[in-house]
Amino acid sequence: MDYRESHLAADKGESYDRRFADNPHRSLMWEMEKRILDRVLTTLYDGRRITHLDFACGTGRLLAYLEPRARESVGVDLSPSMLAVARRSVSNATLIEADLTRADVLAGRKFDLITAFRFFPNAQPTLRQEAMSAILRHLDDSGYLVFNNHLNSSSTMLRLARLAGRSKGLGMEAAEVTRLLDDAGLQVVAVHHLGIMPSNDRYLFMPLALLGRVERYAAKHDVFRNISQNLIYVCSRSGR
């Protein structure tokens, strides 16, 4: 299935939004992602208000969080229902319904920061390449791409899924990320990780308070990187 078609159902935006709002583990991971984003922006931009493009912005969760730090925020997604939810979340960001891999609706505009979360490991390999090409067209020469592999193939979660016969081909290997970046001429500036414990949409494997302590501890130590489910890559053309 072409991943482009996966979020086009009329009720997809609402159901997708509920999967995050109603799940304590996903909420914990989002809180940790926000802390990483704060650190990345402080390190890279030192308080400077930036131009920001969120590729495949979905329901606008990340866009809404980052728009106060930007002088211009743009979110692009091809799903009308996802964008309908995003419009309730953002304040000043421009939302555009389009497939940026097939239509250059941004007319060559360049951005200091481009984000792409929960996209690449879900997309088929050809779409990953097309998406990266589209992103590069709009990344300023001194800009940064921040994207995540939230389905790291070597993570505890996906190892267990494979043992149970439930992986369904999900996941993206580190080597696949490396090839994608090499082909794009991008270099990794930093990699952040989170999510070492298995997750489930219906229940937690341990009390939330204990889970939070375990996850926050693991996120500070690189020894846990390879078994973490969510790897966040900070990349640039120069590697600086």
- Supply the pLDDT for residue 161: 83
Q: What is the pLDDT of residues 115-133, one digit of tens each?
A: 999 999 999 999 999 999 9
Range(s) of the domain holding residue 19: 3-236
Contact indicator for 137, 108 with CB cutoff of 8 Å: yes
Q: What is the pLDDT of residues 9-67, one digit of tens each?
A: 999 999 999 888 888 889 999 999 999 999 999 999 988 899 999 999 999 999 999 99
Give, in degrees to the nearest 5, the angle at Cα 9 between 66 and 121. 55
Output the pTM of the full model.
0.95
- Supply the pLDDT for residue 1: 79
- How many structural domains comprise the chain? 1
Across 103-124, b (16+ Cβ under 10 Å) vs e yields: eeebeeeebbbbbbbbbbbbbe
Q: What is the pLDDT of residues 74-112, one digit of tens each?
A: 999 999 999 999 999 999 999 999 999 999 999 989 999
The residue assigned the tokens 């990345």 is 40
Q: What is the pLDDT of residues 171-182, one digit of tens each?
A: 899 999 999 999
CATH code, domain with 111? 3.40.50.150
- Supply the pLDDT for residue 180: 97
Residue 202 pLDDT more than 80? no
